[in-house]
């Protein structure tokens, strides 16, 4: 790169205290000047890694790097119209944390007035437009901008997490007139850049923002302008705030986007019928029982003393396990260790000799506990739990819980093994000899299977330093009008195959 023009000023850690920034404020504020940022201690890190660290450090201030390059002892880039970002860096003594080696932070120098916009011209519009056309599917009117900054055809670093860059990219995309925007995995935190698409309000129906960094639903306000029918937000911090309370999540999204038909790929309006709920509580009187039982049982099951679960089973309890491992879905690691479950699996469909149907039906609390202790040590992802309380009375409850667990590795080289599970517990409530109410498992069905790809990708992603969130009731609404009765009647007929008279009953 050429030498700086006359009048350039170098800002270093040593001259910061002399007020070099204040004395040259006119240079920093001049939007027609290019400034050169030199980064030391970058080592062999690639362009995207270095620039991501710097941009994350100055966020939410604008800093748009161009003409990245490397010299023997440092790497560099140019930027302009970035006064607040420069002030932020100078306030931090020109030191940026290195996320890849915290012991060696990046140390910067800035050459103010390195060049001018008349001497050094940058035109990235043609390149970005070409990349957008490559990523556009005209048959589906879909523009896929997933991990946009990693596109190998981009000549400059274009992180959509930078609002100005995102605005520019969306502005250029308008000519394609997409109906669907996919913006997954771009570290997007703010959405006001969607103002660039205001002229396309009538054409946009789907926006996918999965796996970004949107903190709260109020940040979605810039999208309210669009009559979205489909919205994907899974993998954003805002989703974690709702925990199991999917009804609040759906309600808040419908309040903002009344035309929504699907949320995170799940239908939330089916001919105006109630949507499927993540958790079902048939009787709110059993809510505390469910929360206490699940927390206590899985804490013991995942502990080093799993044998303690014996005290949670009735003396005459029954237990059976079934395992299903589809070879076309199972990686070698899972298949190698699946025999631990297959050996006690009571799958009657696979049983050739029905006289052996009771061989894997375990009876008595002690036998059940021994069987469970023979299985590998586990850790359950409580944030994956989906719970149904399908029956509850003063004497008995039936609880179904589905979710994900992983086995503890046997050594450092042992790969992670993630499984899906479904367990149905029949609980009996009675008073013990001390007059205290106790809840014991009288029957359990346990199903283990190889986790789906979507389950593996989402497993153990949420903050496990926090306690498991309690199940919140999602109370089904009672039909109030004749129209609602007809809709529920039609739905019941469709699901069960009953005729109209029986469905009404």
Q: Give first-to-last CA distance, the chain, whole Å.
A: 82
Residue 295's closest CA among 418, 97, 439? Answer: 439
Note the pLDDT of residue 489.
Answer: 65
- Within the chain, all domains assigned CATH 3.80.10.10 are found at 125-267
For 155, the token pair is 């000549």
Report, in angstroms and rounded to the nearest whole number, the Rg of the chain calculated over CA atoms.
30
pLDDT along the chain (505 residues), means of 10: 82 87 90 94 90 92 92 92 93 92 92 92 91 95 95 92 93 93 95 92 92 92 92 90 71 90 82 63 86 92 94 94 74 66 80 71 94 92 89 93 88 79 92 76 94 74 51 51 60 59 61
* Residue with tokens 């204040």, as numbered in its chain: 22
Identify the burial level of 478 via C-beta atoms within 10 angstroms of its C-beta, where 0-12 means exposed, 13-18 middle and 19 or more buried.
Answer: exposed
Q: Are 388 and 400 in contact (CB under 8 A)?
A: yes
CATH number (3.10.450.50, 3.40.50.720, 3.40.640.10, 3.40.430.10) of 281-458 reads 3.10.450.50
Rounded to 5, what percent of the chain is helix, strand, coil? 35, 25, 40
Note the pLDDT of residue 191.
Answer: 95
What are the C-alpha distances in Å from 179 to residues 201, 208, 488?
A: 10, 11, 33
CATH superfamily of 9-116: RRM (RNA recognition motif) domain (3.30.70.330)
Structure-block tokens of residue 485:
């009765």
Give the class (CATH, top level) of 125-267: alpha beta
**Which residues, 6+ apart, have CB-to-CB distance to 144 below 8 Å?**
135, 136, 137, 182
DSSP state of 89: H
* pLDDT value for 502: 63
Could you tell me where in the chain the CATH 3.30.70.330 domains are found? 9-116
* Contact of 114 with 5, CB cutoff 8 Å: yes
Secondary structure of residue 381 in the 3-state scheme: strand
In the chain, CATH 3.10.450.50 sits at 281-458
pLDDT value at residue 497 = 58
DSSP letters spanning 405-433: EEEPPSSTTPPPEEEEEEEEEEEEEEE-T
Can you read off the two tokens belonging to residue 383? Answer: 């944030």
HEC sequence for 224-284: CCCCCCEEECCCCHHHHCCCCCHHHHHHHHHHHCCCCCEECCEECCECCECCCCCCEECCH
Angle at 65 between CA 64 and CA 66, to 5 degrees: 120
What is the structure's pLDDT at 236? 92
Report residue 61 as tokens. 């201030």
What CA–CA distance (Å, rounded) separates 26 from 31? 10
> What's residue 375's pLDDT?
92
SS3 496: helix
User: Could you tell me if residue 175 is left (phi over 0), alpha (psi between -120 and 50 degrees) or otherwise beta?
Assistant: alpha
Beta bridge partners of 406: 379, 418
Report residue 243 as tokens: 């925990």
Asked whether the CA dihedral 330, 333, 337, 341 is positive or negative, the reply is negative
Asked if 225 and 199 touch (Cβ cutoff 8 Å), the reply is: no
* Residue 419, token pair as written in the block: 């499984």
Residues 6+ apart with CB under 8 A from 301: 309, 372, 378, 380
Place of tokens 């920093």: 28
Establish how many alpha carbons lie within 13 A of residue 438's alpha carbon, considering only the half-sphere containing its beta carbon.
13
The length of the chain, given as a count of residues: 505
Give the pLDDT of residue 17.
Answer: 83
Q: What is the pLDDT of residue 464?
A: 47
Residue 149 structure tokens = 């900054």
Sign of CA dihedral 372, 378, 379, 385: negative
In angstroms, the Cα distances linking 473 to 147, 279, 403, 458 are 37, 7, 18, 24
3-state secondary structure (DSSP) of residue 357: coil
The answer to whether the peptide bond before residue 94 is cis (omega within 30 degrees of 0) is no
């Amino acid at each position: 790169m050429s030498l700086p023009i006359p009048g350039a000023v170098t800002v270093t850690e040593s001259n910061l205290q002399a007020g070099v920034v204040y004395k040259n404020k006119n240079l920093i504020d001049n939007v027609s000047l290019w400034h050169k940022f030199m980064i030391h201690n970058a080592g062999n890190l690639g362009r995207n890694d270095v620039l991501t660290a710097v941009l994350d450090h100055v966020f939410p201030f604008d800093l748009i790097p161009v003409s990245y390059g490397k010299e023997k002892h440092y790497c560099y880039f140019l930027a302009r119209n970035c006064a607040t970002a420069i002030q932020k860096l100078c306030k931090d003594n020109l030191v940026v944390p290195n996320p890849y080696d915290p012991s060696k932070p990046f140390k910067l120098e800035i050459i103010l007035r390195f060049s001018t916009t008349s001497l050094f011209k940058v035109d990235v519009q043609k390149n970005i437009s070409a990349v957008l056309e490559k990523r556009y599917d005209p048959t589906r009117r879909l523009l896929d901008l997933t991990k946009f900054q990693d596109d190998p055809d981009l000549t400059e670093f274009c992180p959509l997490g930078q609002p100005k860059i995102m605005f520019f990219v969306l502005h250029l995309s308008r000519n394609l007139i997409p109906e669907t925007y996919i913006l997954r995995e771009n570290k997007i935190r703010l959405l006001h850049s969607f103002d660039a698409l205001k002229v396309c309000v009538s054409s946009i129906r789907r926006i996918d923002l999965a796996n970004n960094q949107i903190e709260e639903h109020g940040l979605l306000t810039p999208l309210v302008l669009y009559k979205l029918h489909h919205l994907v937000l899974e993998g954003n911090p805002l989703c974690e705030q709702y925990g199991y309370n999917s009804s609040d999540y759906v309600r808040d999204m419908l309040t903002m986007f009344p035309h929504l038909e699907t949320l995170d790929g799940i239908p939330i309006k089916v001919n105006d019928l109630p949507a499927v709920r993540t958790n079902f509580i048939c009787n709110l009187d059993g809510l505390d029982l469910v929360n206490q039982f699940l927390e206590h049982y899985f804490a013991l099951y995942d502990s080093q003393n799993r044998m303690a679960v014996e005290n949670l089973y009735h003396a005459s309890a029954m237990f059976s396990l079934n395992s299903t491992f589809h070879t076309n879905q199972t990686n070698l690691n899972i298949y190698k260790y699946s025999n631990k479950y297959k050996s006690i699996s009571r799958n009657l469909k696979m049983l050739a000799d029905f006289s052996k149907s009771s061989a894997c039906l375990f009876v008595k609390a002690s036998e059940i506990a021994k069987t469970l202790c023979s299985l590998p040590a586990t850790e359950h992802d409580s944030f994956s739990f989906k719970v149904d309380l399908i029956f509850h009375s003063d004497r008995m409850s039936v609880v179904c819980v589905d979710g994900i667990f992983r086995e503890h590795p046997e050594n450092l080289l042992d790969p992670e093994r993630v499984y899906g599970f479904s367990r149905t517990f029949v609980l009996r409530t009675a008073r013990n000899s001390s007059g205290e109410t106790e809840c014991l498992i009288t029957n359990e069905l346990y199903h283990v299977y190889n986790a789906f790809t979507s389950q593996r990708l989402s497993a153990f992603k949420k903050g496990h330093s926090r306690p498991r969130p309690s199940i919140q009731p999602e109370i089904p609404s009672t039909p109030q009008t004749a129209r609602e009765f007809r809709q529920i009647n039609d739905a019941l007929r469709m699901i069960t195959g009953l005729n109209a008279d029986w469905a009404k009953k």
